A and B are shown apart, each in its own frame.
Chain A
Amino acid sequence: MGLRLLRKILIPFAALVIAASVGTLVIGRTHAAATGSSSAMSLTAQSALTQKAEAAAGYQLFQQHCSFCHGAQANGSTGLAPNLQGLGPGTVQLWLSAGWMPLKTPSAQPEAKYPIFTPQQIVDVAEWVASLHPGGVPIAPSLDLKTGSLSNGFSLFTETCAPCHTITGAGDALADGYHAPPLHGVTSQQIWEAVRSGPQNMPQFGPKNITPSELNDIVKYVTQVIEHPSHPGGIALGGVGPVAEGFVGLFAGVGACMVAAYWVGDRTERDEEDDEEHEHSGDDPTLAPEGANA
């Protein structure tokens, strides 16, 4: 409980305090630079270092939206967020295109949102981050989904993906507030990058674990079958397993049969009083009740 309190209350509070101090520092610095004080020297040195990087279009976007937590050099120097250097452009592209970043609220797991950048902007940011440090997960290559094997993809999906994402790709809750997100509406690029980079709770699968052609098959199965399932049997009930079917069977199935029984059977509870009621039952319902005539 103490850890959760820390995460929920103290971290945002700490973020606020840091934001305030960073803000005052920045204002003080620019003021000092304008007046031509001694700190002008170090500023020029820094700009020389990043001169090449600044030229990239992603630099501005990163500084505006990401640097607050990840640091101006994406190295996690603020202590608020992890170091992004060396993770590769594929990782950055995945997190931005899924809308996980920028973070909306600090929670166990970032929520998927509509991405704030356009696809081109995402590539720009990813390339700028990648330019800081080599290596990591590359941006997904364009996959040739015409050649892959659906059947092999299905088999591999069952083995490596279904244990968390469920066999229908509906997604499910994992322990400690994490969840495996649904796979409906993901792009082939995201699947590729997620498998290679292992975001959040997901394990990372390298090319020796899942070969490029196997990954091609998985992507083919997810994009063509999981995202476009055929439901020849009718309404799919969310693909969350037999418990939904049980509720439908009990409430719609048995329920409808009970309504039928209620319709066919006699539904009035009768007792001694009914003898006198019987005399009234033939009356025209529109007539005033007998009491009113008295």
Chain B
Amino acid sequence: MIDGLYKWIDNRLNISGGTRKLVNKIFPDHWSFMLGEIALYSFVILLATGVFLTLYFEPSQQQVVYHGSYLPLVGQKMSEAFQSTINLSFAVRCGLLMRQMHHWAANIFVGSIVVHMCRVFFTGGFRRPRELNWIIGVNLMIFAIFNGFLGYSLPDDLVSGTGIRISFSILESLPGGSYIATWLFGGQFPGTLLIDRFFIIHVLILPAAIAGLLAAHLGLLVKQKHTAFAGNGATEKNVVGAPMWPTFLAKTNGFLFLVAGVTALLAATVQINPIWQYGPYVPYKVSYAVQPDWYMGWLDGALRIMPSWEIVLPGHMIPNVFFPGILLPGITFTVLMFWPIIEARFRHDTLEHHILEEPRNNPWRTALGASVLAFYFVLFGASADDVLANYLSVSLNTVLVAFRYLVVLVPVIVYPVTYKICLELQHQPRASKTKRHNIVLRSADGGYSTVESAARPGDALPSFPPLPLDNLIIVGDGAGDGTNGADGAASNGSDTKRGIFRIPRSYR
């Protein structure tokens, strides 16, 4: 019956071939290949919780008087946006949990994008032919950061309102910036349109852009195949791992629930963005110890530690916030986006690469990446200079000046240290593996010798040498090529659902 239905559909839509191809796609096993999936699944969580939140959120700056359940706010004037966020937190079942899941998932989303990007960067996964996917990935990160900032601003609370005020000023520092800023905000800050506009961008335009780029990102991944770490039979011409069905699908579904579980656990136990403590945004009110979310924190830190230089071009002074607010992110994202091309030029590397580099084998890039990461981490720390000064009982001025030095010194120190560590690791063939005991033996005539003990379970997983099994070609140019091969792979050979599949690369 089901078989018949399937045949009926397949005869009309011819989905067998494509599905077969997809079902047999090989995914590498190494855990670091799952970092991007954290981002994917936190995006799924963001969509699900976000849909819930839009049911109750009112994107309007219409001033209303609060008459809800939170006593300290009763009678205060606030925007409908703030009121509806308070109400969805306190008066809607699961509302606060959903809001906190949404916010934590946003933090994890951008965080996992950065971690995933680090994996790709440090192993050289962005090299030809995957430059395009790297560029798409960088754009995904930019969109994610933007959308995070917009979402953080939507409740119209005291803390986020301060952030929007700062971003308005940063926009004004652009050449012709006052026009851009008033155009975007629909007039002078704060105006009455901003929450409405941010809302549409946050729930529709940017998520659609992210979803589209995500589809392109994954489509290119399928088209270009995965990279792989050297060893275990991986070559420049194959992909080693588990097939989509059933192994990878089971694994990745489980992983979806793990990521959702972590998000839900955080949301249920750790409070995030308690806007009822902050109160509604009023332009003349401000709180101390306020920072943006972490992915904007480095920009805030840069604003804080920027010396008050006044650079005057003939007839025009460049506003000071232009350097940390516009120039720094501009350079950051431009260099990041075109890094594959920059590196290929610099190293005269025009070859295709499908085998990943061990970070230690390319100390130059590893050290550079670590030092750049350190730079942004110091900037992130600088966004909490007041909190640090308070906790360390040090003068705020000292902390501020210290950060100005640290932001230069730390990257300069990190580079040679990382470089040296990489060089040292190159001489340790077993680096990053579990250490084994050395057994000292004494022979009958009194001589001593050392023998390394045998591997314990878990020290090394069994590996399979590449087999020349032509009938296991599962991805070919024609749809019918690999139909029998996949079944063979699943049932034939190893019981560990692991195998080597020779996959011609159609674009070669």
Contact = CB atoms under 8 A, between A and B. Distances in A.
Is B one of A's binding partners?
A: yes
A265 B29 contact: yes
Contact of A261 (B31, B152, B158, B288): B31
B74 interface: yes
Contacts of B317: none
Contacts of B474: none
A235 B37 contact: no
B459 interface: yes
B108 A167 contact: no
A283 B436 CA distance: 15
A182 to B, nearest CB: 9
Contact of A275 (B37, B42, B395, B465): B465
Nearest to A249: B107
Interface string A268-288: 111110110110110101010
A150 to B, nearest CB: 5
Contact of B288 (A154, A172, A277, A285): A172
Contact of B31 (A165, A232, A266, A283): A266
A268 B461 contact: yes
Contacts of A225: 72
B294 A269 contact: no
Most buried by B among A229, A240, A247, A272: A240
Interface in B438-483: 439, 441, 451-463, 465
B182 to A, nearest CB: 27
Contacts of B75: 149, 151-152
B345 interface: no
A177 B395 contact: yes
B279 interface: yes
Nearest to B90: A232
B441 A166 contact: no
Contacts of A253: 104, 107-108, 111, 262-263, 266
A54 B103 CA distance: 64
Q: Residue among A171, A285, A291 with the most chain B CB within 10 A?
A: A291
Contact of A281 (B35, B255, B457): B457
Of the four ranges (under 10, 10 to 19, 20 to 34, 35 or more), the interface on chain B belongs to 35 or more
Interface in A184-198: none
A87 interface: no
Interface in A169-189: 170-177, 179-180
Given A260-B258, A281-B460, A250 B107 contact: yes
Nearest to A278: B462
A237 B271 contact: yes
A254 B462 contact: no
B34 A264 contact: yes
A291 B441 contact: yes
B76 A261 contact: no
A172 B152 CA distance: 23
A147 to B, nearest CB: 14
Interface string B295-315: 101000000000000000000
B284 interface: yes
B331 interface: no
Contacts, number: 284
Contacts of A264: 31, 34, 251, 254-255, 258
Contacts of A270: 231-232, 460-461, 463
A271 to B, nearest CB: 4
A246 B380 contact: yes
Interface residues on A, range: 35 or more
Interface in B257-272: 258-259, 262-263, 265-272
A162 interface: yes
B129 to A, nearest CB: 25
Contacts of B195: none
Interface in B24-74: 29-35, 37-38, 42, 71-74
Contacts of B459: 268, 277, 281
B387 A240 contact: yes
A68 interface: no
Contact of A257 (B38, B267, B384): B38
A233 to B, nearest CB: 3
A108 interface: yes
A258 B108 CA distance: 11
A221 interface: yes
B387 A172 contact: yes
Given A176-B397, A234-B268, A242 B454 contact: no
A228 to B, nearest CB: 11
B262 A260 contact: yes
Contacts of B34: 261, 264-265
B390 A243 contact: no
A291 B460 contact: no
Interface in A208-252: 221, 225, 229, 231-237, 239-250, 252
A232 B108 contact: no
B169 interface: no
Given A257-B108, A278-B460, A292-B441, A248 B286 contact: no
A172 B386 contact: yes
A246 B451 contact: no
B203 interface: no
A257 B262 contact: yes
Contacts of B463: 270, 274-275, 278
Contacts of B30: 265-267
A165 B396 CA distance: 15
Nearest to B294: A246
B342 to A, nearest CB: 27
A135 B291 CA distance: 43
Contacts of B397: 175-177
A254 B108 contact: yes
Contacts of A285: 456-457
Contact of B294 (A151, A243, A287): A243
Given A266-B29, A267-B30, A278-B462, A243 B111 contact: no
Contacts of A221: 72
A235 B269 CA distance: 6
Contacts of A247: 294
Contact of A260 (B255, B284, B289, B294): B255
Across the A-B interface, the 8 shortest Cβ-Cβ residue pairs: A246-B294, A265-B31, A291-B451, A249-B107, A233-B271, A266-B29, A173-B389, A167-B287
26 contacts: A158-B282, A163-B288, A166-B287, A175-B397, A177-B396, A179-B389, A179-B390, A221-B72, A229-B277, A234-B100, A234-B270, A243-B294, A243-B297, A244-B387, A245-B273, A249-B266, A250-B107, A254-B115, A257-B112, A261-B38, A265-B30, A268-B458, A281-B457, A289-B452, A289-B454, A290-B454
Given A231-B274, A249-B111, 10 more contacts: A108-B395, A167-B288, A233-B96, A234-B100, A235-B269, A266-B29, A275-B463, A278-B460, A285-B457, A294-B441
